[in-house]
Amino acid sequence: MEFQIKKGAALKQKSHCLVLGVVEGKFKNELLQQLDLAVAGAFSRATRSKEFSGRKGETLLLHGGKGLSAERVLLYGLGKERSLTLCALRQAASSITKQLAEKQLGSFLLALAQVPIKKSRLSERIQAIAEGVLLADYRYNRYQGKEKPGQPVALDKVGVLIEAEESQAEATTAIGTAEAICAGVCFARDLVNAPGNLKSPEYLAMQAVAMAEQVGIDARLLNKKELERQGFGALLGVAQGSPRDPYLIVLEYHGGTADAKPVALVGKGVVFDAGGISLKPAEKMDEMKMDMGGGAAVLGTIFAAAQLKLPINLVAVVPAVENMPSGSAIRPGDILTSLSGKTIEVLNTDAEGRLILADALTYVDRYQPRVVIDVATLTGACLIALGNHASAVLGNHDGLIRQLIKAGERSGERLWQLPLWEEYAAQITSDFADVKNIGGRLGGTITAAAFLQKFADDYTWAHLDIAGTAWAGSGRAGQPKGGTGFGVRILIEYLRGEVK
């Protein structure tokens, strides 16, 4: 798919389909009046009959007439002007893309960059439009045969219209930014959607290495032998139930000065979470191939950051394991010695994410990171608390948490803070070890974070629990069913904010 920037009057543009955004009830502008003339009054007839009023998501498709260079015009309702945001614009672009692709239109022209969004720059609006298009064009069809008739077409050329006096360079950069970010999101989605039989820890590691080669960043893999030598006891404990060997994936991107301390990103990489001996119920167990969604987000982020050439240093660490029940698996009651030296009593083998993250969080300390952010599909309790519409954020530094929440609001991937008061830590004290890996039914997302904090308290740290957002159980425009790539957009938005 290729974006093309077009300049000039909308109605003069040749296109298979010209898309105009219409603010609810606002039909009296020059463009819409000219359009009405060009389509012999079909537009005003539709508004008078209330067939089209510009309500959010409403559409009207008109076929061309004299004075119109496009073959058709799609009018897209943007809703009330005061509710227009960059997120709403991104969503509108996704919804338009989905509808036109379903009508077998893979080439169209979007005249949306002038949509009146308060305090927004042209570059931000164009980035939002391009993101909306790219996120809606995504499909995971590796295991499907030829496109069947009636299925949405893959996009070919999408035009973005700017006014003649506006800067082409600004628009080009904005589209490039959207392309880099969405390449990261789609890379993450592909990894999450890959089925468990394909997706061994080794597969994840190989995908990371290939990606690193593509963008010229450093990659290192710690294999089982090396993990044993260094004492990753918690990670190895989880891995021992599976015949597939674990890996620690370490990627480094050097975009900053040599002495600039890096931001470290840590992502949970459980390629399949059967629960281990504390086996999960059968229902929806298939979805547990998404338990590496945090790792995917972290890999997608460093991929995007390298393409954007962000002037920072970045480390991405993904502990990749499979959590399976077997004769060699860890048992409830087992005590593991983690890389930090702290001992962990494993009372439920299904609380495995925090075990592998404990060692990864200890590992990144050697980079003397400025900030550490971990991303993990960590607790079912997070779904109970926030559902599918937000991820939880917790940590030991309120400034960092505030920045992440803001990045979430801007990128459209929302976060909600849960408290991490020290009282919660009482729930994970163990009778036989330094800490236990479950904290009871109450406040499950918080006690999981309290566990991580025991391994992450030497630096500025935040934890994102994306259990409810890494996987879309049902699809919508811009987000087909399956892996979402949640985390990439938020982290890139945060990192770009760090640069300014």
Among all residues, which ones are annotated catalytic? 280, 354
Nearer to Zn ion, 200 or 313 (CB): 200
Listed in sequence order, the residues at least 6 apart from 354 whose beta carbon sits closer than 8 Å to its beta carbon are: 378, 437, 448, 451, 452
Residues 102-131 within binding reach of ligand BES (CB under 6 A): none
Residues 253-312 within binding reach of ligand BES (CB under 6 A): 273, 291
What's the residue count for the chain? 500
What is the chain's alpha carbon radius of gyration, rounded to the nearest angstrom?
A: 25
| Of positions 314, 381, 488, 495, contacts ligand BES by CB under 6 A | 381
Task: State the binding partner of 407 from ligand BES, Zn ion, Mn ion, none, CB within 5 to 8 A by kind.
Answer: none
Residue 247, classed as helix, strand or coil, is strand
- The reply to whether 350 sits near ligand BES by the rule CB under 6 A is yes
Token pair belonging to 73: 């015009």
Q: Taking contact as CB under 5 A, which single stretch among the options 41-49, 345-353, 368-376, 422-430 is the one that binds Mn ion?
A: 345-353
Angle subtended by helix axes 201-215 and 293-308, to nearest 10: 10
- The reply to whether 322 sits near Mn ion by the rule CB under 5 A is no
Nearest approach, Cβ of residue 275 and Mn ion (Å): 5
- The reply to whether 350 sits near Mn ion by the rule CB under 5 A is yes
CA 395 to chain centre: 20
Dist CA 252 CA 348 (whole Å): 34
Nearest approach, Cβ of residue 397 and ligand BES (Å): 25
Angle subtended by helix axes 488-499 and 168-193, to nearest 10: 140
Dist CA 486 CA 493 (whole Å): 12
- The reply to whether 248 sits near ligand BES by the rule CB under 6 A is no
Q: In 3D, which of 297, 302, 306, 305 has the Cα closest to residue 316?
A: 302
Whose tokens are 């537009």? That residue is: 43
The answer to whether residues 278 and 450 touch, using CB atoms and an 8 Å cutoff, is no
Give the per-residue contact string, 251-290, with Zn ion (x = CB under 5 A; - = no): -------------------x--x-----------------
How many positions of this chain bind ligand BES (CB under 6 A)? Answer: 16
Nearest approach, Cβ of residue 452 and ligand BES (Å): 13
Residue 39, classed as helix, strand or coil, is coil
Nearer to ligand BES, 99 or 349 (CB): 349
Task: State the binding partner of 113 from Mn ion, ligand BES, Zn ion, none, CB within 5 to 8 A by kind.
Answer: none
- The reply to whether 348 sits near ligand BES by the rule CB under 6 A is yes
Nearer to Zn ion, 291 or 359 (CB): 291
- The reply to whether 322 sits near Zn ion by the rule CB under 5 A is no
| Of positions 152, 300, 353, 485, contacts ligand BES by CB under 6 A | 353
Listed in sequence order, the residues at least 6 apart from 500 whose beta carbon sits closer than 8 Å to its beta carbon are: none
Nearer to Zn ion, 120 or 348 (CB): 348
- The reply to whether 484 sits near ligand BES by the rule CB under 6 A is no
Dist CA 353 CA 375 (whole Å): 11
- The reply to whether 65 sits near ligand BES by the rule CB under 6 A is no
Whose tokens are 């389509």? That residue is: 39
What single string gives the DSSP state of each residue in 147-197?
Answer: PPTTSPPPP-EEEEEE-TTS-HHHHHHHHHHHHHHHHHHHHHHHHHHS-TT
Nearer to Zn ion, 130 or 355 (CB): 355
- The reply to whether 380 sits near ligand BES by the rule CB under 6 A is yes
Q: Taking contact as CB under 5 A, which single stretch among the options 33-41, 173-181, 237-245, 343-351 is the one that binds Mn ion?
A: 343-351
What single string gives the DSSP state of each residue in 310-362?
Answer: -SSEEEEEEEEEEE--STTS--TT-EEE-TTS-EEE-S-TT--HHHHHHHHHH
- The reply to whether 353 sits near Zn ion by the rule CB under 5 A is yes
- The reply to whether 239 sits near ligand BES by the rule CB under 6 A is no
Nearer to ligand BES, 215 or 285 (CB): 285
- The reply to whether 465 sits near Mn ion by the rule CB under 5 A is no
Angle subtended by helix axes 293-308 and 168-193, to nearest 10: 150
The answer to whether residues 373 and 336 touch, using CB atoms and an 8 Å cutoff, is no
Residue 281's Cβ-count burial label (10 Å; 0-12, 13-18, 19+) is exposed
Residues 262-321 within binding reach of Mn ion (CB under 5 A): 273
- The reply to whether 446 sits near ligand BES by the rule CB under 6 A is no
Q: What is the dihedral of CA 277, 278, 280, 281, to 10 degrees?
A: 100
Task: State the binding partner of 487 from ligand BES, Zn ion, Mn ion, none, CB within 5 to 8 A by kind.
Answer: none
Dist CA 110 CA 20 (whole Å): 7
Nearest approach, Cβ of residue 348 and ligand BES (Å): 4
Which residues lie near ligand BES (CB under 6 A)? 273, 291, 348, 350-353, 377-381, 383, 438, 444, 467
Q: Which residues bind Zn ion (CB under 5 A)?
A: 270, 273, 291, 353
Q: Which parts of this chain interact with Mn ion (CB under 5 A)?
A: 273, 350, 352
